[in-house]
Amino acid sequence: MLIRKTNDIQPLEITPSEITPKSVYLNRRAFMSGAAAAGTAALVGPRIASLLAPAASVHADTKLTTVPSPLSTTGEQLTSLQDITHYNNFYELGVDKGDPARNAGRMKTRPWTVSIEGQVKAKKTFDIDTLLKLRPLEDRIYRFRCVEAWSMVIPWVGYSLSEFIKECDPLPSAKYIQFLSLADPNQMPGLREANLDWPYSEGLRMDEAMHPLTLLTFGLYGETLPNQDGAPVRVVIPWKYGFKSAKSIVKVRFVDKQPHTTWNEMAPNEYGFYSNVNPDVDHPRWSQKTERRIGASIFKQRQPTLMFNGYGDQVAKLYTGMDLRKNF
User: Which pLDDT does position 245 carry in this prediction?
Assistant: 98
**In this predicted model, what pLDDT tens digit does every residue of 87-110 receive, in sequence order?**
999 999 999 999 999 999 999 999
Coil vs helix vs strand at 290: strand
> What is the C-alpha separation between 62 and 224, in angstroms, rounded?
6
**In this predicted model, what pLDDT tens digit does every residue of 257-291 receive, in sequence order?**
999 999 999 999 999 999 999 999 999 999 999 99
- What CATH code is assigned to 6-319? 3.90.420.10
Task: Give the residue with greater pLDDT, 25 vs 171.
Answer: 171
**In this predicted model, what pLDDT tens digit does every residue of 44-85 receive, in sequence order?**
333 334 333 434 444 446 899 999 999 999 999 999 999 999
Q: How far is CA 221 from CA 12, 15, 37, 236, 276, in A?
A: 14, 8, 23, 15, 25
Task: Give the DSSP letter string of 134-148.
Answer: HS-EEEEEEEEE-TT
> What is the C-alpha separation between 293 and 300, in angstroms, rounded?
7
User: Which pLDDT does position 40 carry in this prediction?
Assistant: 30
- What are the residue ranges spanned by the domains of the chain? 6-319
User: Which pLDDT does position 61 carry in this prediction?
Assistant: 60
User: Which pLDDT does position 126 carry in this prediction?
Assistant: 98
> What is the C-alpha separation between 181 and 316, in angstroms, rounded?
28
Task: Give the DSSP letter string of 159-219.
Answer: EEHHHHHHHH-B-TT--EEEEEE---TTT-GGGGTS---SSPEEEEEHHHHHSTT-EEEEE
Whether residue 268 contacts residue 278, with contact meaning beta carbons closer than 8 Å, is answered with: no
Mean pLDDT on 15-32: 36
For residue 11, pLDDT over 50 is answered with no
For residue 4, pLDDT over 60 is answered with no
User: Which pLDDT does position 46 carry in this prediction?
Assistant: 36
User: Which pLDDT does position 218 carry in this prediction?
Assistant: 98
For residue 142, pLDDT over 50 is answered with yes
DSSP H or E stretch at residue 50: helix 38-52
Mean pLDDT on 189-204: 95
For residue 12, pLDDT over 50 is answered with no
Alpha-carbon dihedral angle through residues 86, 91, 96, 101, given to the nearest 10 degrees? -30
User: Which pLDDT does position 14 carry in this prediction?
Assistant: 38
Mean pLDDT on 300-326: 97
For residue 191, pLDDT over 90 is answered with yes
Task: Give the DSSP letter string of 203-272.
Answer: EEEHHHHHSTT-EEEEEETTEEPPGGGT-S-EEE-TTB-GGGS--SEEEEEEESSPPP-HHHHH-TTTS-
> What is the C-alpha separation between 77 and 83, in angstroms, rounded?
13
Alpha-carbon dihedral angle through residues 99, 105, 106, 109, given to the nearest 10 degrees? 120
> What is the C-alpha separation between 52 and 226, in angstroms, rounded?
13
User: Which pLDDT does position 315 carry in this prediction?
Assistant: 98
